Amino acid sequence: MPSYQSLIEIRAENTADPACIEARARNVIDELETVGRQLSAVTFTDPDFTLAQAQNCAGSHYKGPLYGVPLAHKELYGRALPQNRGWPFEGGSRSYQGQTAAKTAMAITKLDRAGAVDCGRLVSVEYALGVTGHNSYAGTPQNPWNRDYVCGGSSSGSAAVVAAGIVPGALGSDTGGSVRLPAAACGLVGIKPTQGLISRSGIFALSNALDTAGPLTRSVADAAAILSCLAGYDSSDDMSVQTKSRDYARQIDGGLTGLRIGLAEHYFLSGSDSDISDIIAGVFDRCLRLGAQGRNVKIDGIEDSNPLNVLLIATEAAHVHNTMIDTAHRQLNDQTLMRVLAGMFTTDEAYARLQACRADYIARTLPELFDKVDMFMTPVWPFALPTIAGSDLGGNPDAAPLVQRIGHNTRPVNFLGLPAVCLPVGFDRNGLPVSVQLVGRPFSEDMLIRAARAIEREYCFWDTRPPPVS
């Protein structure tokens, strides 16, 4: 059975007894191939590689921050091996069937250096371009809290296996909400970092302007530990930014006293169903009782950022995957094709205007916003989670409004290039997780993590666990 141990607990056990590392890796592989497959969340395991990595780790004198910790990641993360035996690198798509990774993602290399054990790859929505998790080729992961419901997308497999207790953490990617939506749907902590904080080198691309990489875990401390291993400059990523290395858990228990938190009622709460927005307003009130300073915030023009983000993703995705769209479009899921075709008709002039519009909006908006608050608070999902069957709309006319609606609270954050941390704070009317999103100024991840930890202590969400998968 899954152990639900935290990353920190696992590392401590491994340090005390390195023999635990291989045994734990074997157990994780077994859980991925049984529970993970039952949840339709797993695309690939390589037991020989994983066990060899575990053995090498156990025999090493260096006990890194993730020493012997078993992880598994979204299938977009490349793993190259000798003799061209790379792990599958299909982007969740039949159009890239059989493609393997030509290089190891820098994020994976950093986790290797930190001592983590890589146990496999997990289902992604096709091209990472989807918000519900549906994938007719790779499989549609089922939510461990209730298998009739979506996991969210596009890092759906990552969310499913972490919520099921198979691994303590997994990497996802976030272009319009693809870490935060699955994390929120499955009751996890998800971090969407500042653009440029984590290298995207070796990660299956969707949108150069918007793609970010981040962890999904069951606790704020575990997410902070993984983020600390990943952050840093990489010259092979043209969006990477020079930043100082830091321990994101160093001030994790600093509490909320003195932090200025805004409640984004306009657009974010008003655009979410009342039963969801009421929960988030309750979290805000509790933060004030814990010492935070609070005020309402309005971000002028924010309502335009969701559709503009959708257009920017579609435009850049159409450029990245132009060959496949031309030659293998019949192999694409209907919804993927619907979305990327919209980008095919964006002219170079319109694309340049879109980029300029984004840059101008960021320059005008951020100084005024973060002069008033240190962070602001929103819901993640704007309504109760849908079922898998009820949201399986493919490319029919109702799909586009659903895609826009689900990303209502997440895409503006990508458009502004801001960091965000989401964490669970309760349950919706169907017994599925509800999460809050904390959004801060660029490179304020340490402050967001500090605030998230204070909220986590109040709600103790993981005192409750999903029913066993059988």
**367 CB-contact burial (10 Å; exposed 0-12 / middle 13-18 / buried 19+):** exposed
Rounded CA gap, 241 and 446, in Å?
A: 17
219 a catalytic residue: no
Number of Cα atoms under 13 Å in the Cβ half of residue 410? 36
Structure tokens at 322: 């132009």
Rounded CA gap, 417 and 438, in Å?
A: 14
95 a catalytic residue: no
Catalytic residue among 40, 93, 95, 154: 154
Give the single-character DSSP code of 379.
Answer: E
Structure tokens at 280: 């988030």
Cβ neighbors of 20 (< 8 A, separation 6 or more) are 13, 14, 68
Q: Which amino acid is at 337?
A: L
Short-list 165, 154, 166, CA closest to 192? 154
Catalytic residue among 178, 207, 272, 277: 178
Q: Which amino acid is at 443?
A: F
Short-list 164, 417, 425, 402, CA closest to 284? 425
What is the strand order of the sheet 433-440 is part of? Answer: 169-174, 212-217, 189-192, 420-427, 433-440, 375-379, 260-263, 293-296
Spacing of C-alpha 46 from chain mean position: 23
Phi-psi region of 141 (alpha: psi -120 to 50; beta: other; left: phi over 0): beta
Torsion 403-309-218-280 (CA) sign: negative
Q: How many CB atoms lie within 10 A of CB 222?
A: 25
Catalytic residue among 6, 40, 74, 444: 74
Where do the H-state alpha helices sit in 249-381? 274-289, 305-320, 322-327, 334-344, 348-372
Rounded CA gap, 411 and 174, in Å?
A: 9
Backbone angles phi, psi at 208, to 5 degrees: -60, -35
Structure tokens at 355: 């980029």
- In our burial notation (b when 16+ CB lie closer than 10 A, e otherwise), range 292-304 reads bebeebebeebee
Rounded CA gap, 202 and 395, in Å?
A: 30
Find out whether 62 and 115 touch, Cβ atoms under 8 Å. yes
74 a catalytic residue: yes
Q: Which amino acid is at 42?
A: V
Rounded CA gap, 120 and 167, in Å?
A: 11
Catalytic residues: 74, 154, 178
